[in-house]
Amino acid sequence: MLFYIVHFMTHHIQLAYYYLFDSTTICVTIMKMTPEEFRHQKCQTLQGVDLSRKGCIDDAIKLLVEVINNRDEFVTTSSCSGRVILFCENIAEGHKKGCKWLFTSHDSVDIQELINSVDPAEGNLVFKYEPLILHIRCFTLDHAKLLHTCALEAGFRNSGITLGKHGKVMLAVRSCMGLEVPISENGELLVSHKYLEFLVRKANEKVEENQSRTERLLTCVKNAFEVNT
Amino acid sequence: MLFYIVHFMTHHIQLAYYYLFDSTTICVTIMKMTPEEFRHQKCQTLQGVDLSRKGCIDDAIKLLVEVINNRDEFVTTSSCSGRVILFCENIAEGHKKGCKWLFTSHDSVDIQELINSVDPAEGNLVFKYEPLILHIRCFTLDHAKLLHTCALEAGFRNSGITLGKHGKVMLAVRSCMGLEVPISENGELLVSHKYLEFLVRKANEKVEENQSRTERLLTCVKNAFEVNT
C-alpha cells in the first residue's frame, strides 16, 4: 500500500493538497480533477439554463452569489433568497412537486395582495415561509469547510456538506427558521382574515430576520475570502 | 512537501486509510486519532449525561440508535424520533431556548389532549411538528458518507456532514417535512377548535410519514452495514 500511495504521489504531486484540521488529523487529497477542469465545469454550470420557476437569481442575494462565484473554487448551483409562498398541496402526488403557486414574494408581503390570492377552490392551500437556500459546489472539502463555517456563524444552522458522485463536494446553506401553515381543505378556508393578517405579520418578521442573517453571511464570506487570499 | 508527507507516513502508516470516491478523487487520510482513541471517546459520549428534556432515547428509534452504536465507527450524540409540540414563544429572548412547552408527543396526537393543553394566557403559542433528527459522530469522512447516503435514500433530504473542531466528523440526519403554526398572540387564541382538529390531523399524517421514513432508514443502514462488514 505504501508503494501505491507514493507511486501515485510522484505522478500527481502537482495536484496535491494537504490540510491539518486542528492538528489532530492530517489529510492528503490527491485529486484527479485539476483546478482547470473544475473551472471548466464551473463555466458549464454558469452557462447552463436556469431551471428555477423565476429563471434568474433573486435581487437580494445577487451580490452574495457574485462574491462566491468570483472565486475559482466555488460555483453556486441553485439559490433562493427566501420567500413567502401560498400554494396548493398536490394530494394526488403526495408531494409538493407540480403544485400550483397562487402567490410568491421574495420581500415583505402586503396583506391585501395575499388575501386577493387566497382561493380555496384551487385546492388545499398552504401558507409558507422559506428562508435563504444556497447550494454551492466547492473544489475541495477544505473550501466547503471554509464556507460552512461562515454559514454557521451567520446563523444558518441547518447547513451541511454533501459528498456526491464523481467526487463532487456540495455545501447546502439552510436555516431552520420556518413557517408552514395549512389554511384550507376541500374548498373551505379554515382560518379568519384576522388570522391571515397575523400570519403575514409573522412572515414579515421572518423576512427581516432572514435578511439580517443574509447580510451577516455576506460579511463572513468576504472576511473569510480576504483572510484566505 | 513530498518529504514531509512521506516522513509522516512511515511513522504513521499503521493508521493510514485510503479511499477512492467514484475513481475521480483519491484521498489519503493519516489520522493521529487511532480507532482505539475513537472508541474511548465514544464510550465517554455514551456514558455521559443525557441533557435532553426527556433524558432518554425515544422508543421509536431505540433499535436504529442501537444498530448504529453497535458499530465501532459511529456514535449518536443526540436524537429525537420526531414530535408534535405546543410551546410558548419566548419573545424576550427572541429564540426558542428556554421556552415553555405545554404539550409534547412522540406519537400520534389525541385532539382532546391537545385542546386541554391550549392556554393562551401562557404566552404566544406555536403548534409544531418536527420530524426525526439524529446527530451521529463518525470516525472518518468515509463512514459519514456511508450513512449520509442511507439518509438521503430514506428521504431525509436535509441531512448533511459537518467538519468540527479537533477533526470531528458529524452527520446530521434531517427531513424537510415540517409544520409550524403560530396560533395565539397577547393572550388571544386566533384559530377555531375546528382548525385545531384539522391541524392535529395534518400533524398525525406527518407522524406516519416520518415513521415510514425512519423504517426505511433502518433498513438502508442495516443493508449498508452488511455490505461493508
Say yes or no to pLDDT of B4 above 60.
no
Measured distance CA(B86)–CA(B89) in Å, rounded: 10
Which residue, A40, A59, A56, A217, is CA-closest to A146? A217
Interatomic CA distance for residues A132 and A214, integer angstroms: 8
> With bands split at pLDDT 50, 70 and 90, how would you rate the model's confidence at A91?
low
CB-CB neighbors (< 8 A) of A14 in chain B: none
Chain B hits for A180, CB-CB cut-off 8 Å, are: 178-181
- Mean predicted confidence (pLDDT) in A174-200: 95
Give B59 to chain A, closest Cα distance, Å. 25
Which residues make beta-bridge pairs with A163?
A: A169
Which CA distances in Å does A85 have to A55, A77, B104, B198?
17, 22, 28, 21
Task: Search chain A and give the residue with CA nearest B186.
Answer: A198
Average pLDDT taken over every residue of chain A = 84
Q: Cα A69 to the chain's mean position, in Å?
A: 14
The residues facing B76 across adjacent strands are B136
pLDDT reading at B157 higher than 80: yes
Give the per-residue pLDDT at B55.
Answer: 72
Percent of chain A with pLDDT over 90: 66
Task: Tell if the CB–CB gap between B179 and A179 is shorter than 8 Å.
Answer: no
Residue A143: CB atoms within 10 Å = 21
Q: Compute the distance between CA of residue A16 and CA of residue A9 in angstroms, rounded to an integer.
A: 8
Q: What is the pLDDT of residue B56?
A: 82
Chain segment B168-222, per-residue pLDDT in tens: 999 999 998 889 999 999 999 999 999 999 999 999 999 999 999 999 999 999 9
Contacts within 8 Å (CB) and 24+ apart, B33-39: B33/A24, B33/A25, B33/B167, B35/B72, B35/B73, B35/B139, B38/B72, B38/B73, B38/B139, B39/B72
How many Å lie between the alpha carbon of B130 and the closest alpha carbon of chain A?
11
Q: Does position B6 have pLDDT exceeding 70, yes or no?
A: no
Query: Architecture of B34-227 per CATH?
Result: 2-Layer Sandwich (3.30)
Pick A167's closest partner by Cβ from B2, B25, B166.
Answer: B25
Q: For A180-199, what is the mean pLDDT?
A: 96
d(CA A18, CA B27): 10
Q: Which residues of chain A have a CB within 8 Å of the CB of B96?
A: none
Using the beta-carbon criterion (under 8 Å), do B180 and A185 form an inter-chain contact? no
Q: Give the number of other Cβ atoms within 10 Å of residue B143's Cβ.
A: 20
Give the per-residue pLDDT at B178: 84
CB-nearest partner of B166 from A24, A161, A163: A24
Buried b (16+ CB within 10 A) or exposed e, B18-27: beebeeebbb
What are the domain boundaries of chain A?
1-30, 33-227
Asked if B26 lies within 8 A of A21 by C-beta distance, the reply is no
Cβ–Cβ under 8 Å, residues B108 and B81:
no
pLDDT tens track for A106-127: 999 999 999 999 999 999 999 9
Residue B24 has pLDDT above 80, yes or no: no
Looking at residues A197-226, what average pLDDT do you find?
97
Pick from A8, A19, A24 the residue to mutate for testing the B interface (most B CBs within 10 Å): A24
pLDDT value of position A32: 59
Longest dimension (CA), chain A: 73
Instruction: Name the closest residue on chain B to residue A160, using Cα atoms.
Output: B160
State how far the Cα of A212 lies from the Cα of B142, in Å rounded to an integer. Answer: 36
**A17-59 pLDDT, tens digit each:** 434 333 344 455 545 578 888 999 998 888 887 766 677 888 8
The pLDDT of residue B32: 59
What residues of chain B lie within 8 A of the CB of A204, using their CB? none
Helix (H, G, I), strand (E, B) or coil at B177: coil
**Helices B193-227 and B62-69 meet at what angle, rounded to 10?**
30
Contacts of B1 in chain A (CB under 8 A): 13, 16, 18
B141-163: average pLDDT:
96
List phi, psi (to 5°) of B101: -95, 130
Q: Do A13 and B6 touch (CB under 8 A)?
A: no
CB-based contact A178 B182, cutoff 8 Å: no
Q: Give the per-residue pLDDT at B195.
A: 97
Q: Which residue of A has its CA nearest to B27?
A: A29
pLDDT for the residue numbered B57: 86
Average pLDDT over residues A53-70: 89
**For the segment B53-65, what is each residue's pLDDT rounded down to a tens digit?**
677 888 889 999 9
Averaged pLDDT of chain B:
84
Sorting pLDDT into bands at 50, 70 and 90, what band is B135? very high
Say if residues A182 and A105 touch (Cβ distance below 8 Å): no
What's the count of helices (H) and strands (E) in chain A, helices before strands? 6, 10
Kindly determine whether residue A160 and residue B159, on different chains, have CB atoms separated by under 8 Å: yes
Q: How far is Cα B134 from Cα B65, in angstroms, rounded to an integer?
A: 9
| CATH architecture of the domain formed by A33-227 | 2-Layer Sandwich (3.30)
CA distance A60 to chain B (A): 23
B22 vs A165, A174, A178: nearest CB: A165
